[in-house]
Amino acid sequence: MKTMLTLAACTMMLLAISCKKKDKTVEPVNDPPVGTPVTISLMQPMTGIPGDVITITGSGFSTQKNKNIVKIGGKAATVSEALATQLKVVIPNHPADGKVEVTVNSSSGQGATMLTLELPEADFVSGPQSAGLPQSFLCVNGSRFSDEYEWYVDGKKESASENIAPWIYSPGIHEVKLIAKRFFQGVLHSDTIVHEFEVAMDPNLIAHYPFNNDAIDVAPHQHHGTMVHITPGTSRKTMVGDALKFDGVSSMVRLPENLIHSLGNTKAISLWFKSEMPIVVASPLFGYQNAAVGGSLPSAYCPGVLISSANKLYGKLGDADDINALMNGGLVTDEWHHLCITGNQNTQIMYLDGVVLRTYPGPDETSGIAKTINQIGAAWYGIMLPGSNVLNTWTYFKGEIDDVRLYKTVLDRDRVRALANE
């Protein structure tokens, strides 16, 4: 009895395995011989936009996707699935019309009717944004057809890369306009879209001077500066009046008393500058000390960042009475450059155009004599720089300065690069 049960069990197992093998089906490779007619009997759906998937039903297709050459409106379309009688195809960008053509092994077939292609309205959305980081925008829908983009922020035309708008740094509500020019089936379409976006304020931004022909602080604290012998300059965006021009003799922007010193040991100063050459003594971008500019010798001073007569940057936050106490590096040309110097009590870093020039031990500005007088474009020159034969004098920047920002925090490399790429 036991033997009979075992034989019966084995027989059932063999039958089950046999059934499983018979149930398993494999789609055969169908590569029609050369000359086999290709026909298209049905397309679903009959309307769509680039990026949509349509199903083409017919005969003479290859089950190998790459053997089916599909064009819609003269543009190559991607085949996502292939059966002997059915293809799934993605509508390509910029189709001239809705004509559908399938070619397999030199045989071609066309749809009896044409697809109805639709042109969606262009639009754009804002990218992710958090306090202190730039706001970006991305065109949607229109990017499938558009050939030209024009971006405007608060009424000013901005340069942009294709369908991505320029970043916006200034906090507050901004009007962003996109004009998307799109050629669709031989006809030029132009869409204009306008949205308002609010850019969050960085709580560590203590002052922000765009220098739009004034020294107004657009940050909430309103630490407005005072212009001295300043004339309108031309910004790095070639906008007249969007930067300030310094004469190298007496020009400066006085900041509210104690502004830089009050930032303490943890701070960052960011600005754009374009220096006029040659430099005779030293050209300072900013400075702070305990005496009024043009007056008596200060007993405590920070030269900030200086450009030497050899066109080299020297700078430091905190006291500096020796050239060896200054970070240096980076050759400056008579073009626009971005500068950022940032740090805390342990380490400070100087960047030029988003690239680290030098690191140095941080300053301790919470002790000693307070340097409460601060300014942009002027500084006390008490350190002999290479190539100079003048010492212990007030010196002034000659050139243009734009977009000055003071932070009560350390800016990391990504933040500095974002500012340099604005």
Cα separation of 402 and 376, whole Å?
11
353 and 214 co-located in one domain? yes
> With 80 as the cut, is the pLDDT of residue 232 above it?
yes
Pairing mode of beta strands 75-83, 337-343? unpaired
The structure tokens 């450009």 sit at 307
Name which of 307, 318, 320, 321 is nearest 386 in CA terms.
307
Looking at per-residue pLDDT, the higher value among 6 and 250 belongs to 250
Q: Is 195 in the same domain as 209?
A: no
Answer yes or no: is pLDDT of 258 > 70: yes
Sign of dihedral through CA atoms 144, 145, 148, 153?
negative
Domain containing 43: what range?
A: 39-117
Residue 17 in any domain: the answer is: no
User: pTM of the entire structure?
Assistant: 0.60
Q: What is the mean pLDDT of residues 245-249?
A: 95
Q: How many residues does the chain have?
A: 422
Looking at the structure, tell me whether residues 137 and 104 fall in a common domain: no
Specify whether 96 is located in the same domain as 129: no
Indicate the pLDDT class of residue 170, thresholds 50, 70 and 90: low
Claim to verify: residue 158 and residue 129 sit in the same structural domain: yes
Q: How confident is residue 403, by pLDDT bands cut at 50, 70 and 90?
A: very high
Q: 221 phi and psi, to 5 degrees?
A: -70, -25
**Residue 88, token pair as written in the block:** 């799934």
Indicate which CATH number applies to the domain containing 221: 2.60.120.200
The rounded distance, in Å, linking the Cα atoms of 358 and 278 is 24
pLDDT score for 126: 65
- Whether 30 is in a domain gets the answer no
Instruction: Provide the pairing of β-strand 47-48 with 116-117.
Output: parallel
Are 113 and 127 found together in one domain?
A: no
Secondary element (H or E) of residue 394: strand 393-396
Collapse the DSSP code of 23 into the 3-class scheme (helix H, G, I; strand E, B; otherwise coil) and give the result.
helix
With tokens 């342990």, the residue in question is 346
32 lies in some domain: no
Does 58 reside within a domain?
yes
| pLDDT tens for each residue of 357-390 | 888 887 667 667 889 999 999 999 887 676 666 6
Total tally of structural domains belonging to the chain? 3
Q: What is the pLDDT of residue 15?
A: 46
Find out whether 287 and 379 touch, Cβ atoms under 8 Å: yes
pLDDT exceeds cutoff 70 at 290: yes
Q: Is residue 23 in a domain?
A: no
Instruction: Report pLDDT for 138.
Output: 54
Please tell me whether residues 293 and 375 are part of one structural domain: yes
Write out pLDDT tens, residues 180-221: 777 676 677 777 888 887 777 788 999 999 999 999 998 888
CB 208 within 8 A of CB 202: no
Name residues whose C-beta falls within 8 Å of residue 359's C-beta, 6 or more positions apart in sequence.
327, 347, 348, 349, 350
* Tokens matching residue 74: 């003269």
Average pLDDT for residues 267-284, to the nearest whole number? 90
Cβ-proximal residues to 328 (8 Å cutoff; 6+ apart), any chain: 312, 313, 314, 315, 357, 358
Give the sign of the dihedral formed by CA 354, CA 356, CA 360, CA 362: positive
pLDDT above 70 for 241: yes
Check whether residue 195 and residue 221 sit in a common domain. Answer: no
pLDDT at 195: 81
Task: Give pLDDT, residue 167.
Answer: 58
Are residues 98 and 166 both part of a single domain?
Answer: no
Q: What is the pLDDT of residue 362?
A: 76
Last residue of one domain, picked from the residues 145, 164, 199: 199
Rounded mean pLDDT of the chain?
81
| Claim to verify: residue 299 and residue 397 sit in the same structural domain | yes
Residues 288-313 as b or e (16 or more Cβ within 10 Å = b): bbbbebeeeebebbbbbbbbbbebbb
129 versus 316: which is more confidently predicted?
316
What are the pLDDT digits (tens) for 147-169? 677 888 788 777 655 555 555 55
Cβ(18)–Cβ(78) under 8 Å? Answer: no
For residue 144, name the pLDDT band (cuts at 50, 70, 90): very low
| Boundary-marking domain end, from 117, 132, 150 | 117
In this prediction, residue 367 carries a pLDDT of 65
Segment 326-342 mean pLDDT: 81
**pLDDT digits 0-9 by tens, 19-71:** 444 444 555 677 888 888 999 999 999 988 888 999 999 999 999 999 999 99
Q: What is the pLDDT of residue 243?
A: 95
Same structural domain, 281 and 341:
yes
Which among 168, 199, 230 is the end of a domain?
199
- Determine contact, residues 134/167, Cβ cutoff 8 Å: yes
| CATH number of the domain enclosing 152 | 2.60.40.10
